[in-house]
Amino acid sequence: MEPRLCHCFGFTPAELQKLALERGIATPAELTAAVQAGGGCGTCAPDLERLLEELWKDRKPVLRPLTPDLIVRDAIRPFLGRGAFELEFVDVDQASVRIRAVARPDACAEAAETLRVFVEKRLKEMYRPDAAVTFV
C-alpha cells in the first residue's frame, strides 16, 4: 500500500496526482479547495507543492470548475469510508442535486438525516450556497 502524502485527509501521492491532472489543479490552495488535502495540520504543504510543481513542469493546467458529481466523488464519498450508505451522484438542476443513497444493512434510522446534512453542507460550501440535496 502506497504511503499517504496527506495524513489528515488520507490521500496518497498517486491519488492527488490523478485528481490534479483530471481537474487541472496547479496549486495547493486549489487542491485544498477541491478535496481538503493540505487543509488540516499543514505539514504536507511542502510535499503538495513539490508534487504539483513536478506534475505541471512540462504542461499547462486548465482548472475545471467544481461540479456536484466531482464534489460527491472526490470530496464526499472518500469521507464516508465504511459509513452507513453508498452514495452515487444522479443529476443536478441548478441548485437541486439528486443523489442515490443506498443504506447498508446495519444503518440506523437517524443515519440518513445525518448523511443528508453532511452532504448538503459540503455542497453548499463547494458548489453553491443554495444547494439542496434530494436522496432518490
**Binding residues vs ligand FES (CB under 6 A):** 6-8, 38-44
Q: Distance (Å, rounded) from C-alpha 119 to C-alpha 88?
A: 12
Task: Take residue 9 and report the three cell numbers written for it.
Answer: 485527509
Closest approach, Cβ 12 to ligand FES, in A, equals: 12
Q: Distance (Å, rounded) from C-alpha 66 to C-alpha 70?
A: 6
Closest approach, Cβ 13 to ligand FES, in A, equals: 12
Question: Among residues 48 and 87, whose Cβ is nearest to ligand FES?
Answer: 48
Question: Among residues 31 and 131, whose Cβ is nearest to ligand FES?
Answer: 31
Question: Among residues 9 and 85, whose Cβ is nearest to ligand FES?
Answer: 9
